[in-house]
Amino acid sequence: MSMNESAVRPLIEIKDLKEYFNINMGMFRSKPLKAVDGVSFSINKGETLGLVGESGCGKTTVGRTILHLYKPTGGEIWYDGKKIASKEDIRAFRKKATMVFQDPYSSLNPRMTVSDIIGEPLDVHRLCATKQERQERILQLMDYVGLNSEHAARYAHEFSGGQRQRIGIARALAVNPDFIVCDEPVSALDVSIQAQVINMFDELQERLGLTYLFIAHDLLVVRHISDRIAVMYLGRMVELADAAEIYDHPLHPYSKSLLSAVPVPDPKVARANKRIVLTGDIPSPLNAPSGCPFRTRCPYAQERCAEEMPPFDEVAKGHFVACHRVREIN
């Protein structure tokens, strides 16, 4: 990071974000599913924060709740030093923050042409005064993501997965956002195409000064693209640090096992690699364990872990961990 510390200002600040879904249990009873339970972090301008975790850990919900696709159950979302509170704030915020979805097949309307798909946000937010201007803007956006102008009149089904994802990215860029939530944008793509799209995210960031929240389960991809990485487990953040730091020196037992489980594309390293294989499955968020959510699978769990929730402490500069025994086990 070349920027001076004091000059770096958070663009997005999340404070104690909570998102509970009510699950109908039958007989007029319902139970809250705590998809996100007290998550706080901030993302600086021009930075990429990687958010990793396994399915059901709440990473997608965090992304969607930030954009107010879900109404937050609790907590605050601050954008550029201002708290988002009213409906007008949300409307204004959505011009500055957009999303790229995981599945390039279901996130594009099959009955719309590429230019309609990319033009829709322009129409919704009334960003273009004339048809001419709208058309030029669409072609500019298509150029940003490496699509040809002759693609404009085609339908989404005529494109491959990688090209569809480009269309989705062009749509996200249409409102000229500062902040993009990328929800598993490359996990449905083949390796060779994935690399093309990752490079494109990089280039767009440099060119347009974008800030990303990059949600993914592929740790190699996240490590490549992110400045900092946050690890989530069962609706809570367990570790947050610089990408290199967390990758080389993970401190939380969950991050350790997650990283050791990543298959390394190198036979000699893979053979020598000592994997920390966790036993059991992720508990259901409906019946989350008491205390530390990871304790049921944690090799270091003690009585204390079942009794109280570990605080999310800064153990080294910029390195946050939620574990009671972080000092003993490292």
Partner 1 sequence: MALLEVKDLRTSFFTDAGEVKAVNGVSFNLERGKVLGIVGESGSGKSVTAYSIMQILASTGRIVGGSVKLDGQELVGAGERVMKTVRGNKISIIFQDPMTSLNPTYTIGRQLMEAIILHTDRDRRAAYERAVEMLRLVNVNEPEKRMKQYPFEFSGGMRQRVMIAMALACEPDILIADEPTTALDVTIQAQILELMQQLQEELGMAIILITHDLGVVAQLCDEVVVMYAGSICEQGTADEIFYHPCHEYTKGLMRSIPTADTAGTKLRPITGTPIDLLNMPQGCPFAPRCDNAMKICIRTRAERMRINDDHAAACWMNVKAGADSGEIVIEPKQAQAQEGGDEHE
What is the binding site for partner 1 (CB under 8 A)? 54-55, 160, 162-163, 190-196, 198-199, 202, 217, 219-221, 223-225, 243-244, 247-248, 257-258, 260-271, 273, 275, 277-278, 281-282
Q: Which residue's structure tokens are 């025994």?
A: 325
Nearer to partner 1, 123 or 281 (CB): 281
Tokens representing 318 are 């910029």
Smallest separation, CB 121 to partner 1 (Å): 26
Smallest separation, CB 267 to partner 1 (Å): 5
Nearer to partner 1, 99 or 231 (CB): 231
Smallest separation, CB 160 to partner 1 (Å): 5
What SS3 class is residue 170?
helix
CA distances to 38, 80, 183, 238, 259 from 98, rounded to whole Å, are 23, 15, 11, 26, 29
Torsion angle (degrees, nearest 10) of CA 237, 240, 246, 249:
-80
Smallest separation, CB 33 to partner 1 (Å): 16
Nearer to partner 1, 53 or 177 (CB): 53
Question: What's 136's DSSP letter?
Answer: H
Nearer to partner 1, 153 or 220 (CB): 220
What SS3 class is residue 167?
helix
The C-alpha atoms of residue 314 and residue 312 are separated, in whole angstroms, by 7
Smallest separation, CB 303 to partner 1 (Å): 23
The residues that bridge with 316 in the sheet, in sequence order, are 319
Smallest separation, CB 136 to partner 1 (Å): 27
Nearer to partner 1, 69 or 244 (CB): 244
Nearer to partner 1, 3 or 124 (CB): 3
Nearer to partner 1, 223 or 236 (CB): 223
Query: Strand 97-100 to strand 179-183: parallel, antiparallel, or no bridges (unpaired)?
Result: parallel
The C-alpha atoms of residue 173 and residue 157 are separated, in whole angstroms, by 21
Letter string b/e over residues 281-300, b meaning 16 or more CB atoms within 10 A of that residue's CB: ebbebeebbebbbbbbbbee
Residues 6+ apart with CB under 8 A from 181: 63, 64, 66, 67, 97, 98, 99, 100, 212, 213, 215
Smallest separation, CB 324 to partner 1 (Å): 21
